[in-house]
Chain A
Amino acid sequence: DIQMTQSPSTLSASVGDRVTITCRASQSFSFWLAWYQQKPGKAPNLLIYRASRLQSGVPSRFSGSGSGTEFTLTISSLQPEDFATYYCQQYYIYPNTFGQGTKLEIK
């Protein structure tokens, strides 16, 4: 199985900050990676697919990059509604696997 490791597990930041979350895979799989945002009590919401493609309706302050074993999600200027938990997921091979999550908190 491919293990996905996110860092950091918790991130404290302020509105307007630029933040980056990293996701590392235990083996290489090109671009088959997605990022999700989840708010408490809600279902996850797809932000980025194929490592860098922005899902329709997602604000352009979100961007993804990377390939192989290292991927990043960047939020260019944090907005109040961005404070949530973020997950990466590889869909290159079964079992699909998620990172453990990064909780983005208000500083």
Chain B
Amino acid sequence: EVQLVESGGGLVQPGGSLRLSCVSSGLTSSNSVMSWVRQAPGKGLEWVSTVSDGGSSTHYADAVKGRFTISRDNSKNTLYLHMNSLRVEDTAVYYCANDGPQYSEGGVYYTSRSFGVWGQGTMVTVSS
């Protein structure tokens, strides 16, 4: 069973930078697509970014494009989110998540691209 543990959150001034980490343990996550999802205080869930299993393909929400960079080091079972030019509106709990379950249809196996396992979250506060 995969477990995810985030770290790196904290208080940062507007315009500052922060790097979040997400370490996976249990079954290897190197074959999994990995994502970051955030939740501002009292608000709903917002997808932030996704990286392919090998790290070569990335996707970003418009709100963070050009400021955030997702990456992974599979040798360390670690996912990263490099956050630059932080804004007050980036204040949120940041969760990492991996793929949903595998399932079979018509004799073919698929991996659901839902978010099957989540970390406990790390809080990022952007304030002066």
Contacts and interface: CB of A to CB of B under 8 A. Distances in A.
Interface of A: 32, 34, 36, 38, 43-46, 49-50, 53, 55-56, 87, 89, 91, 94-101
B102 to A, nearest CB: 11
Most interface-central of A49, A94, A96, A98 (chain B CB within 10 A): A96
Given A34-B112, A87-B44, A96-B50, A46 B100 contact: yes
27 contacts: A32-B113, A34-B100, A34-B114, A34-B115, A36-B115, A38-B45, A43-B95, A44-B95, A45-B118, A46-B100, A46-B114, A46-B116, A49-B100, A49-B114, A50-B103, A50-B114, A53-B101, A53-B103, A55-B116, A89-B47, A91-B113, A94-B50, A95-B47, A95-B62, A98-B45, A98-B46, A98-B47
B101 A43 contact: no
A56 B103 CA distance: 11
Contacts, number: 66
Tell me what chain A mostly uses at the interface: helix, strand, loop, or mixed.
Answer: loop
